[in-house]
């Protein structure tokens, strides 16, 4: 608050209205989690839908989803490992007993999910997550692949037919091998989906102990097959159940066998952190019921709006240490917000949520490391990442009803060029004018808008290196750098001779306030509209 008091003496000379200019400092030496990416699924027939679109529409949809210069630049896909009958599962018929020889059936297509994976790979996608919603029905206590039921052989699930843990591990391993035949490398495999839920489609129940029992079988089975596919668990319906399951898996001594902890956000939102040394992904969430139209970026913060999703993705990454954020469906013929893109005949309608994902996914590439930031402003959110190509991307979300002038300062990195990209109501990821002066990038972030700054440059001095532990979210000490600037709205007598305080404005188009700077600071050009008293 000190600058306010320093300025108070000047108010009689200079005040007419007050406008905030906010500076965020990126701490390149303070690092948090490594990012795996952003994505979605085309499960339950939607890969097949996409395959059957007319060629022009198919290309349009694939570009919108994956193209890093014209679309969202998504980097993860989530396929479904079928567990039903012929045409869905690779083991539609029981071999008769857990140790009997299974007869696998492979059509090379898997409902065109093989083709879909290859399309994604053509855009550079490397992270292919295959998830089973259930084991085949004959491996479960209820004998069917639907309506929940539990894998026979895990704690508390005894079946007359025997213990099917190894058979289920063999089934998943074989599925990965079939994809290898098409040169599709499944990098992550899951064996549960919403294990606390028993719907009338593919589903299987599990608690954390039961999941751990199976992980201890799956892990050595994959290794024996020469696969380094990472095991995920548990795609819980909600975050709070995933916390409970992760703690139980840890207590059962199987957390070290997992590659990634995964959760959905339906029955309980992403909130706080999950205690695990692994990366954490949010692997499925969507507004399942509201209609796409009127398809707003921001009108009132409704569940399907673009800016609602920009905030959700941001909060998940910064406050809950997510390394990946996946929507539910990418593209589907439909009318609700369950997908990022809706199709109807040859009409393709990208939702504003797609551009929210794009604001992150295009500029936070797999392997990017989250950096610390300091600086805050009312209803403003900041995050920063260092990509493996050396670029730094900075996200600014403005939850105010007025535009915010933002300066981005870097510590431990010297920016030599800046680009900025904006989404707001009426603007779908457009280039935004931004300036770079004295290493400070500046742009105006529109009301209820998101801007991503992309800085190229080189490592710089001025920052020690701090790696923040895996369970920390980065709620580090925040330095408030907001500066209150006095601005005269109507021309008055020129306040010649008055001094702006440190961080205050001292020149710019339309500026009629103080043009001098307080002792120890100098007026530095930031952009045509703004110069600032900097120490
Ligand atoms: C992405 O879009 C650009 C511009 O249309 C195009 O040149 C490029 O080939 C596309 N990338 C892929 C992988 O199709
Ligand atoms: C897989 O890759 C190998 C080696 O590049 C190639 O010979 C083979 O034709 C590919 N198979 C398919 C199904 O694409
Ligand atoms: C799909 O397109 C048809 C033809 O243009 C139109 O009549 C129909 O209302 C559209 N459906 C939806 C759900 O938008």
Q: What is the pLDDT of residues 60-98, one digit of tens each?
A: 999 999 999 999 999 999 999 999 999 999 999 999 999
pLDDT tens-digit series, residues 23-56: 999 999 999 999 999 999 999 999 999 999 999 9
- What is the assigned CATH class of domain 15-32+369-486? mainly beta
Ligand whose nearest atom lies closest to the CA of 362: 1
- Which residue in this structure is represented by tokens 């102990």? 209
346 Cβ inside 6 Å of ligand 3: no
Ligand nearest to the CA of 120: 1
Q: Which ligand is nearest to the CA of 179?
A: 2
Q: Locate the ligand 2 atom nearest the alpha carbon of residue 181 and give its number.
A: 13
Q: What is the DSSP annotation of 342-370?
A: EEETTEEEE-HHHHHHHHHHTTS-TT-EE
pLDDT of residue 477: 30
What letter does residue 145 receive in the DSSP assignment? S
Read off the pLDDT of residues 206-253 as tens digits, 9 standing for 90 and up.
Answer: 999 999 999 999 999 999 999 999 999 999 999 999 999 999 999 999
Please provide the CATH number assigned to the domain covering 36-361.
Answer: 3.20.20.80
Cβ–Cβ under 8 Å, residues 177 and 106: no
Residue of the CA atom closest to atom 9 of ligand 3: 344
Which residue puts its alpha carbon closest to atom 8 of ligand 1? 67
Task: Report how far residue 176's alpha carbon sits from residue 210's, in angstroms, rounded to the nearest whole number.
Answer: 23
Position 510 scores a pLDDT of 61
CA–centroid distance, residue 229 to ligand 2 (Å): 20
Ligand 1 neighbourhood includes 67 CB (under 6 angstroms): yes
CA dist list (Å): 486 to 186, 400, 437, 509, 521: 57, 20, 22, 14, 17
Residue owning the nearest CA to atom 2 of ligand 3? 344
Q: How far is the CA of 67 from the centre of ligand 1 (A)?
A: 6
pLDDT at 452: 98
Candidate from 58, 69, 71 with most ligand 1 atoms within 8 A of CB, to mutate? 69
Q: Is the pLDDT of residue 471 over 50?
A: no
Can you tell me the mean pLDDT for 126-149? 98
The residue whose C-alpha atom lies closest to atom 7 belonging to ligand 2 is 183
Domain map of the chain by residue range? 15-32+369-486, 36-361, 499-534
pTM of the model: 0.86
């Amino acid at each position: 608050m000190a600058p306010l008091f320093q300025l108070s003496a000047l108010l009689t000379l200079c005040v007419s209205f007050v406008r905030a200019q906010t500076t965020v400092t990126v701490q390149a030496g303070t690092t948090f989690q490594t990012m795996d990416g952003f994505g979605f699924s085309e499960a339950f027939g939607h890969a097949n839908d996409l395959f059957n679109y007319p060629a022009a529409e198919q290309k349009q949809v694939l570009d919108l989803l994956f193209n890093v210069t014209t679309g969202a630049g998504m980097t993860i896909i989530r396929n479904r490992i079928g567990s039903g009958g012929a045409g869905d599962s690779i083991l539609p018929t029981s071999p008769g007993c857990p140790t009997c020889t299974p007869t696998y059936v492979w059509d090379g297509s898997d409902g065109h999910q093989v083709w879909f994976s290859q399309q994604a790979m053509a855009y550079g996608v490397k992270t292919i997550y295959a998830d089973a919603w259930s084991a085949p029905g004959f491996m479960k206590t209820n004998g069917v692949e639907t309506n929940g039921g539990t894998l026979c052989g895990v704690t508390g699930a005894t079946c007359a037919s025997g213990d099917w843990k190894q058979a289920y591990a063999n089934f998943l391993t074989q599925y990965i091998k079939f994809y290898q035949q098409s040169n599709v490398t499944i990098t992550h495999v899951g064996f549960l989906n919403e294990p606390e839920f028993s719907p009338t489609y593919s589903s299987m129940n599990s608690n954390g102990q039961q999941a751990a029992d199976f992980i201890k079988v799956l892990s050595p089975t994959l290794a024996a097959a020469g696969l380094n596919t990472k095991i995920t668990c548990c795609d819980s319906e909600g975050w709070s159940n995933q916390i409970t399951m992760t703690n139980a898996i840890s207590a059962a001594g199987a957390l070290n066998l997992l590659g990634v902890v995964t959760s959905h956000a339906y029955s309980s939102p992403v909130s706080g952190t999950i205690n695990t040394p692994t990366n954490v992904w949010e692997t499925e969430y969507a507004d399942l019921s509201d209609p796409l139209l009127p398809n707003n970026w921001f009108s009132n913060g409704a569940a399907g709006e673009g800016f609602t999703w920009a905030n959700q993705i941001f909060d998940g990454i910064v406050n809950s240490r997510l390394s990946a954020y996946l929507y539910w469906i990418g593209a589907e013929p439909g009318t609700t917000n369950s997908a990022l893109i809706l199709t109807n005949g040859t009409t393709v309608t990208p939702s504003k949520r797609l551009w929210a994902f794009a604001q992150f996914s295009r500029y936070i590439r797999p392997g990017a490391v989250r950096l610390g930031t300091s600086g805050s402003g009312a209803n403003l959110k900041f995050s920063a990442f260092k990509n493996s190509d050396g670029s730094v991307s900075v996200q600014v979300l403005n939850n105010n009803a007025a535009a915010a002038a933002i300066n981005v300062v870097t510590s431990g990195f010297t920016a030599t060029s800046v680009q900025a990209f904006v989404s707001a109501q009426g603007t779908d990821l457009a280039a935004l004018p931004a300036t770079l002066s004295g290493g400070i990038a500046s742009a105006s972030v529109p009301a209820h808008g998101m801007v991503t700054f992309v800085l190229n440059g080189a490592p710089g001095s001025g920052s020690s290196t701090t790696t923040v532990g895996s369970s920390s979210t980065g709620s580090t000490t925040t330095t408030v750098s907001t500066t209150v600037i006095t601005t005269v709205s109507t021309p008055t007598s020129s306040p010649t001779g008055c001094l702006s305080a440190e961080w205050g404005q001292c020149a710019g188009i339309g500026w009629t306030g103080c043009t001098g700077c307080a002792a120890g600071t100098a007026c530095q050009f930031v952009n045509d509209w703004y110069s600032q008293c900097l120490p």
